[in-house]
Structure 1
Amino acid sequence: MEPAYPLDPKRYFVTGIGTDVGKTVAAAILTQALQADYWKPIQAGNLEDSDTHAVQRLVTNPVSTFHPEAYKLQMPASPHTAAAAEGIRISLDEIQAPATKNHLVVEGAGGLMVPLNNNDLVIDLIQQLGLEVILVSRNYLGSINHTLSAVEVLKYRKIPVAGIIFNGVPNASTEDFILYYTKLLRLPTIFWEDEFTPDVITGYAQTFREHFLPSAHELSPAR
């Protein structure tokens, strides 16, 4: 019997206000919460322990499919640099979203303005895929500027934003200002943890599931 599929599949592109802000953990939580498929279009570096491998270790539901990367690059660097080191050019035409009837969580590389080649940025890939963005922010000195800049460029490009996740140690003053200024929907917070294990991810996933799937009628009968 084929598994039940969502009547209205949700498709999100998880991006951050910069590097190392927690995109992979957020993507794992969303994947577990929605029992979604996961896809990282471009992996640069750490091919033996990639972000896809990390999410696979953290996600425990039996439904999610992990789709292969469109580009797997050896050098841990900006995608355009990593690709050039291998004598190739990343082409948006070669990056097509996986065919799936399930929810889909897509994880970006770095932030919105990271170059993929001499002309295209991550934000161009988001526009091509036509996905809603989930923005991940982390509190640090300068994060207000980085977050507001990311939101402004998303608005300029008319890319819909499903909400913002604050990740790490809370800072009410920073977060309240960002929410007031941007009018973004606040998604559940991911707090600082000693370690993100499958059990921790599952705990967060329940909170996110209640936000994204308030009705149990999201799934259609198996066909």
Structure 2
Amino acid sequence: MTQTIIVTGTDTGIGKTVFAAALAGALNATYWKPVQAGIEDETDRQAVLRLSGLAEARLLPEAYRLNTPASPHLAAEIDGVTIDAEALVLPDVDGPLVVEGAGGLLVPLTRSLTYIDVFARWRAPVVLCARTTLGTINHTLLSIEALRARAIPLLGVAFIGDANVESERVIAGIGRVRRLGRLPLLPQLSVDALRAAFAQSFNADDFLKDPAP
């Protein structure tokens, strides 16, 4: 039976892919990035392969690989590709499945559809990755409201960055959400370093629990 966990973020460039690699590795999960925009540098799938310790067979190919590093809707238009969001169906795999979105929740896949619309159709539990730097309270609480407005189950918030006890406490309290843990910024990223940091900061079993009401 597949247990799907969607990893999304409050913004782009916050370390969501590194967290997804750590989570997928800790759960010995299958990883899937439905839409990759920008393939000149290392793709998110390639980064997860490098950092998770998973066999390549555990990393599914993207549904769409777009050349242009931009919002998926724009990258698709530039590449002459039409993204059929209805065709984005969660794959059936054995064991846990970690699905990584792109940027934040309202990143557009087409001119009329955002990632959160697809998440609402999937109804799988979400982990929201959030920075610990200035501005995170507003961005994170807005993201929590957007998820709840669409009745998308929320497992909790995974913070990424240096400790910010007050911001983390306020988000958990006002947002009425689980604080799953905090992944620190690592001076060197490797499979072993990431695995150790995740094990110290998170309880892997928390990601397999039912979302809090």
TM-score, normalised relative to structure 2: 0.91
Q: Shift of residue 188 of structure 1?
A: 2.1
Pick aligned residue for 2:72 from 76, 79, 99: 79
The percent identity for this pair of structures is: 38
| Native 8 Å contact 1:36 1:63 kept in 2 | no
Which residue is equivalent to 2:30? 37
Q: In structure 2, what is the equivalent of residue 70 of structure 1? A: 63
Is contact 1:15–1:112 with CA below 8 Å preserved after alignment?
yes
**Is 1:172 matched up with 2:165?**
yes
Amino acid at match of 1:40: K
Aligned twin of 1:125: 118
Higher RCO (CA 8 Å, separation ≥ 6 residues): 1
Give the TM-score of the pair, scaled to structure 1. 0.87
For 2:122 and 2:74, the matched residues in 1 are separated by 23
The match for 2:152 among 156, 159, 164 is 159
CA contact (8 A) 1:35 1:63 kept: no
1:19 aligns with 2:12: yes
Could you tell me which runs of 5 or more consecutive residues in structure 2 were left unpaired when the two chains were aligned. 209-213
Match of 2:189 in 1: 196
Q: Which residue of 1 aligns with 2:48?
A: 55
Match of 1:219 in 2: none
Separation of aligned partners in 1, 2:44 and 2:119: 18
Q: Any idea what the Cα deviations from partners look like across 1:43-85, whole Å, max 9, x if unmatched?
A: 0003552000000011224597100100000000000000000
2:144 partner letter: V
Q: Would you say the 8 A contact 1:43–1:51 is kept in 2?
A: yes
Q: Whole-Å Cα distance in 1 between the matches of residues 89 and 162 of structure 2? A: 36
SS in 1 for 2:178: coil
Q: Which runs of 5+ in 1 are unaligned?
A: 1-7, 216-223
Kindly provide the CA deviation profile for residues 84-143 of structure 1, in whole angstroms up to 9, marking residues without a partner as x. Answer: 001222111221222212200000011000000011101011122221100000022221
In 1, are the aligned partners of 2:2 and 2:93 still within 8 Å (CA)?
A: no
Equivalent residues in 2 for 1:139-158 (5 A)? 139-158=132-151
Query: Secondary structure of 1:151's partner?
Result: helix
Which entry has the higher C-alpha Rg, 1 or 2?
1
In structure 2, the residue matched to 1:206 is: 199
**Aligned mates of 2:200, 2:56 — CA distance in 1:** 19
Tell me what 2:176 maps to. 183
Range with greater deviation from structure 2 (14-23 or 123-132): 123-132
How many matched pairs? 208
Partner letter of residue 196 of structure 2?
G
Classify 1:148/1:14 alpha carbon distance in 2 versus 1 (closer, same or farther; 3 Å). same
**Superposed CA RMSD:** 2.0
Post-superposition Cα deviations, 1:30-51, rounded to whole Å, max 9, x if no partner, equal 1011000000000000355200
State the secondary structure of the residue aligned to 1:77.
Answer: coil
